[in-house]
């Protein structure tokens, strides 16, 4: 009898040990992977899930603003940084650019650039779909009305310009690897205002490779410095400075009648007849308008930026942004110093753990001795609101 009792006790001990081991294993699984619904509705499970959400929300960076044409980045440059998942930002920028003389025309003749003072508004929204993907939408609003100004060649009027979508995909995470790599694909839709002549009627599209590097990977004292660069291809609008110069030249030097009766063509590749560019209905020089200011063509795009973050919430540096038209070997190269500041405590609001406001300002210096399309100078100001969504 004692032997039977001992045997039963051993089996009971084995069963208890197996049961305890099973319960411990289940507990570890739930601790490492808390259920999305809060662990069967328990308060502890809900608290754990919320703690994970808060920790993820705290990863929000002060550079989580959209660039002018969409995609998280600097003011002009898209970077390899993406929004965290379920994060949203909304940015608006005001862009002013001044053009004085038409570049690429006869160097002995100074002709006013018909673009003169461009004022535009950019509206951009970014959303972090997942850790690896970001989606953004953008819209451009042209604010000038040039059609009533004889010095502007009756070009453009106020209206909606380019709008479109961007998708960015992360290949390497800069926060994890020190080096960030992403690809951006975009579509641009022409202006819906058919009479505004803000854009051409062609669809724009393109792709970029975005690279960002933390310089602390090179030396510890460079921990506040980062560099960003991208290289891409785009089929987007081109402003024909040579054609604008021809219009200005014909009007300035009373050569309108000469070009109206010219039988040749302007730029054989686009088959622009002079009779189309200078119709017989134009009786005097004030009738001259720029009928073909924009058309879409292939571009190489690229930029390089140095970013410094001296204090929490402050980002400053300089961007070198440009593109080259493949068909016409015409460049647009701009140097843009920038400064942004993110409010960690928004004035008059108590809780800011999900909502941040960033103010941005950038200069715009066109390196016009090297190209024809860049502005002489300009500036950009903007504001970004970003939040962590709970759905």
Angle at 292 between CA 102 and CA 199, to 5 degrees: 95
- Find out whether 305 and 74 touch, Cβ atoms under 8 Å: yes
135 and 35 share one domain? no
Residue 30 located in a structural domain: yes
Q: Give yes or no for residue 11 having a pLDDT over 70.
A: no
131 and 13 share one domain? no
Which of 288, 271, 292 shows the shortest CA–CA distance to 279?
288
Quote the CA–CA distance of 95 and 303 in Å, as a whole number: 18
Return the residue matching tokens 């390196």.
Answer: 367
Which tens digit of pLDDT belongs to each residue from 277-335? 888 888 888 888 887 778 888 999 999 999 999 987 889 999 999 888 777 667 788 99
The pLDDT assigned to 345 comes to 61
Residue 183 located in a structural domain: yes
Residue 364 located in a structural domain: yes
Expressed as residue numbers, the domain containing 47 is: 2-52
Angle at 292 between CA 287 and CA 295, to 5 degrees: 165
178 and 198 share one domain? yes
Residue 251 located in a structural domain: no
Mean pLDDT of the chain: 79
Q: Give yes or no for residue 68 having a pLDDT over 60.
A: yes
Q: Residue range 15-27: average pLDDT?
A: 47
* Residue 183 pLDDT grade (very low, low, confident, very high; cuts 50, 70, 90): very high
Task: Name the maximum alpha-carbon separation found in the chain.
Answer: 127
154 and 16 share one domain? no
- Dihedral, CA atoms, 74, 76, 80, 83, nearest 10 degrees? 60
Q: Is 357 left (phi over 0), alpha (psi -120 to 50) or beta?
A: beta
* Residue 188's CATH number: 2.40.160.40
pTM: predicted TM-score of the whole model, two decimal places: 0.79
Q: What percent of the chain has pLDDT over 90?
A: 33
* Residue 90 pLDDT grade (very low, low, confident, very high; cuts 50, 70, 90): very high
The pLDDT assigned to 139 comes to 95
Residue 282 located in a structural domain: no
């Amino acid at each position: 009898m004692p032997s039977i009792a001992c045997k039963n006790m051993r089996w009971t001990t084995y069963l208890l040990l197996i049961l305890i081991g099973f319960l411990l294993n289940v507990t570890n699984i739930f601790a490492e992977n808390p259920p999305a619904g809060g662990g069967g509705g328990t308060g502890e499970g809900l608290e754990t899930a919320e703690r994970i959400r808060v920790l993820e929300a705290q990863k929000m960076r002060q550079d989580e603003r959209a660039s002018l044409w969409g995609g998280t980045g600097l003011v002009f440059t898209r970077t390899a940084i993406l929004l965290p998942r379920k994060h949203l930002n909304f940015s608006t920028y005001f862009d002013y650019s001044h053009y004085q003389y038409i570049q690429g025309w006869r160097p002995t003749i100074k002709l006013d650039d018909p673009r003169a003072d461009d004022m535009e508004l950019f509206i951009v929204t970014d959303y972090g779909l997942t850790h690896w993907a970001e989606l953004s939408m953008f819209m451009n609003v042209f604010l000038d009305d040039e059609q009533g100004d004889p010095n502007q060649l009756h070009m453009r009027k106020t209206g909606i310009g380019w709008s479109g979508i961007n998708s960015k995909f992360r290949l390497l995470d800069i926060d994890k690897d020190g080096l960030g790599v992403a690809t951006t694909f975009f579509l641009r839709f022409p202006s819906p205002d058919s009479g505004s002549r803000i854009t051409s009627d062609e669809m724009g599209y393109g792709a970029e490779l975005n690279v960002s590097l933390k310089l602390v990977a090179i030396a510890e004292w460079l921990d506040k410095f980062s560099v960003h660069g991208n290289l891409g291809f785009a089929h987007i609008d081109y402003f024909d400075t040579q054609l604008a110069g021809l219009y200005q030249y014909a009007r300035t030097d009373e050569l309108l009648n000469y070009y109206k009766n010219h039988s040749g063509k302007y730029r054989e590749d686009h088959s622009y007849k002079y009779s189309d560019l200078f119709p017989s209905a134009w009786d005097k020089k004030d009738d001259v308008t720029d009928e073909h200011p924009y058309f879409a063509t292939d571009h190489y795009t690229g930029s390089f930026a140095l970013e410094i973050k001296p204090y929490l919430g402050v980002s400053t540096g300089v961007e070198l942004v440009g593109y080259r038209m493949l068909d016409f070997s015409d460049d647009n190269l701009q140097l843009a110093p920038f400064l942004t500041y993110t409010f960690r405590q928004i004035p008059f609001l108590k809780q800011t753990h999900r909502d941040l406001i960033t103010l941005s300002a950038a200069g715009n210096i066109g390196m016009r001795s090297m190209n024809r399309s860049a502005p002489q100078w300009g500036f950009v100001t903007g504001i970004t609101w970003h939040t962590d969504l709970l759905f």
